[in-house]
Amino acid sequence: MRVFAIADLHLATVTPKPMTVFGPQWAGHPEAIWAHWRETVREEDVVLLPGDLSWAMRLPDAMTDLSVVAGLPGTKVLLRGNHDYWWPTASRLRAALPPGMLAVVNDAVRVGNVVICGSRGWTTPGHDALNAEDERLLTREAERLSLSLKAAQTLRQPGDHLLMMLHYPPARRAAWPKPSTRSRPPPSKPKQQKFKQGRRTLQRRPCFLVGTGNSGCSPLLGNAPFESGLDGLYALS
């Protein structure tokens, strides 16, 4: 079994919001992803989907987008992103998801010898200056992540691998490539600035951490080999 990860699909089957507004390179991006997915992922693999999956505002509309994903190979594990406005309660979501599609909601799931937990996260200290609302959201996400990690430890069996998904990377600004220097009009309000920061590629890039027992977690970038029968963690892009 291999584990793949891809975030920010931003599907818009029902809600008309084409990603080409961010540049021509986005033209036909779902079809390109599906083609690579079918070429790369096997049925026994797992694909992590940590957020910003659909532009839909309602669960039924989002399910139209997710139905395409559900038909692709592999077991899919979903996490909420900051643009998944359609995301309902855990019970409603799980009742709507088709077979082979799971969701992490303040808890954890186990697929084979892999236990997966996580939370959306938020901007972390050292990345951008945090205001009071940022502090509130960061505290809330830390509490949710704590619940998810506790659930993961309950599910985890000897020999299992622990994966933690985050939509926002817990990284300092210096650890990531510099954002684009193209000129943009300044926001009119601090609140608008916060939302603009949330759209930056730096903040929306997913981060995946692999548990190393009680000693903590270590980040994985790119392809990374595993031991004990797990072939690796890969970026599906």
Q: What is the pTM of this model?
A: 0.76
> Which CATH number covers residue 178?
3.60.21
Domain that holds residue 164: 3-235
d(CA 87, CA 219): 27
Q: What is the mean pLDDT of residues 20-43?
A: 85
> Is the torsion defined by CA of 24, 208, 161, 67 positive or negative?
negative
Number of H helices, E strands in the chain: 6, 10
Q: How confident is the model over 74-116, as pLDDT tens digits?
A: 999 999 999 999 999 999 999 999 999 999 999 999 999 999 9
d(CA 75, CA 43): 7
Question: Is residue 209's pLDDT more than 70?
Answer: no
Question: Is residue 1's pLDDT more than 90?
Answer: no
> How many domains is the chain built from?
1
Helix, strand, coil fractions of the chain, as percent rounded to 5: 35, 20, 45
Half-sphere exposure of 227 (CA within 13 A, CB side): 3
